[in-house]
Chain A
Amino acid sequence: MHPTIRLVNRNLTISLNPGFVVWQVMFPIVYIFVAGFAYTTLIDSVKLGDVSLDYPAFIASGMIGFNIMNSTLVSGIIIWNDRRHGMFEQILVGPFKRSHYILSNVYTIAIVGLISATLITSIGFPLFFKSTHFNLLTIPFLIFASVVGSILFGSIASIISTRLRSSEGFNVIINTVFLFFAFVSTAFYPAQGTPEPLATGFYLNPLTYLVDIIRAGIFGTFNEFVMLEMIVLVSVAATLFVIAIKLLTKLDL
């Protein structure tokens, strides 16, 4: 078996523990079903291009992007955990090159992102079933969003993992990043109608671009703006990926 595949196997074993799976499934389910239906009394419908969505369908589709971010941030932390528990050095004195280790983390993050997206799409599907506008682009859009989003958020977690040494610092940073990404985005609420500074904040957040692309795929609201968002997302993901790889390559032992 190729060394990278062996490391991916190991990464998935340590990542996909029961706690992680429960966190990955329960958290979005609570949002989709509890918040989704509870907020329906406040938010009647959300306008998305020419389509008008009920709030549960809006939040369920947002949760796909949210879960990609959530799971890949957690997977990106593998590097942090490996450094903290001595496994980074142990792996590098084993039958692996540093490139095997880096690639294994990229693949793990992408796999976890895809699994996550599939899981939440399946759970949320009954809610946005009525509004789904299946077309040739739906599945490619979802795969595109899963892979690019995974690489983007996985790279962010990897960068943080390589730069920080103390647990306290790491936790503060990762929680702050999570809070910003999760709640200053269009995952939970639409940008239209929000105060200008908040709407600007939304569009400084890659999760907004990610959920916009996912919704465009699901609800068939693809337009030039979404195209632009895709380009921005790919560019940011590529830049962060290169930075993460460089930092990982130079990571001191």
Chain B
Amino acid sequence: MSIKSRSLFKSYGDLVAVNGIDLDIGSGKIFGFLGPNGAGKSTTIKLLTTLVPPSRGSIEILGIDAIKNPLDVRKRIGVVLQQPSYEPNLSVEKSLEKYGMMWDVDKKTRKQRTDELIDVFDLGEIRKKKNEDLSIGQRRRVQVAREFMHEMDLLFMDEPTVGLDPSARRNLLDYLKDKAKAGLTIFYTTHVLTEAEYLCDEIAVINKGKILAVDTPDQLKSTFGQEKTIKIHLANKYDDLIGLLLGISGCRIEFDTGTNIIIQSSKAEIVLSQVLSILIENNILIEDLSAMPTTLEEIFLRMVKDTNAPNN
């Protein structure tokens, strides 16, 4: 087990940032940690990386008690924090090299890894540029690349793709997948749910300091996303369409601009056949029809909305 926490709790005065989190994350997994702003994601990372001590609860990282032996934990993990971190007056190349030195990586390996990472993260053109002269996205790429200068068993990444362009983002995600295949465990927080869906073996959704659900992306969708969305675009506008479709039960129907119908139902196939029958009977022409599977984003938004409800 790479990460194990029990009843993890952290408060700052009256503010409860993390409220009884239990985690069990196996080795070689990419674990996604999703939540809205202020949900407790970054605080959880700070607790797990020993940056701040918990108010109560236990943390075991790579089999080590992280509260009693934080340094032993830190020697075996890598951390890409949410906030930018860089040495402004060092060049990209030099900052990678120095970071390796700080981790006690020998000179030959440092040189080799610097060249490798400059290539992987497409930093060749800016390798001699100082960090202070880089764009936010370039700096972020350096910050992420830098973390691979040293050996580690577990990598924490707090929204690492913020500021990256789509190609750099995909490049990073694929690199992380390769690293996980080679045995690295990755704890990954993000707001970009398509990213989590693409990358993660397991996902936890957190809000208000509590974990709402933990499962594989597919299992989350099947558990929480039975409802499907069907969109029908009509060729023409029909004023009495609302009246015609009102009799169908077990679904929510929305009419948009008079030519678009959006149907949401957990029995989408049955509802769709009823809708189609009515449209055909009334000679209403359909221009386009699409059925969309539930996305992780919809599940996430629903979960967060439910927990934010006043009675919850």
Contact = CB atoms under 8 A, between A and B. Distances in A.
Contacts of B103: 94-95
In this complex, the interface size class of chain A, counting residues with CB under 8 Å from chain B, is 20 to 34
Contacts of B79: 90, 93-94
A95 B49 contact: no
A10 interface: yes
Interface in A81-101: 81, 85-87, 89-97
Contacts of A172: none
Interface in B93-114: 94, 98, 101-104
Interface residues of B, number: 25
Nearest to B146: A90
Given A17-B89, A93-B51, A97-B71, A85 B102 contact: no
Interface stretch (B31-39, B80-88, B162-170, B176-184): B80-88
Secondary structure of the B contact surface, majority rule: loop
A198 interface: no
Contact of A6 (B74, B81, B88, B101): B101
B102 A92 contact: no
Secondary structure of the A contact surface, majority rule: helix
Nearest to B147: A90
Contacts of A14: 87, 89-90
A176 interface: no
Interface of B: 46, 49-52, 71, 74-75, 77, 79, 81, 83-90, 94, 98, 101-104
29 contacts: A6-B101, A7-B102, A10-B102, A13-B94, A13-B98, A14-B87, A17-B89, A19-B89, A81-B88, A85-B84, A85-B85, A86-B83, A86-B86, A87-B85, A89-B51, A89-B85, A90-B81, A90-B85, A91-B102, A92-B51, A93-B77, A93-B81, A94-B74, A94-B79, A95-B74, A95-B102, A95-B104, A96-B71, A97-B71
Interface of A: 1, 6-7, 9-10, 13-14, 17, 19, 81, 85-87, 89-97, 253
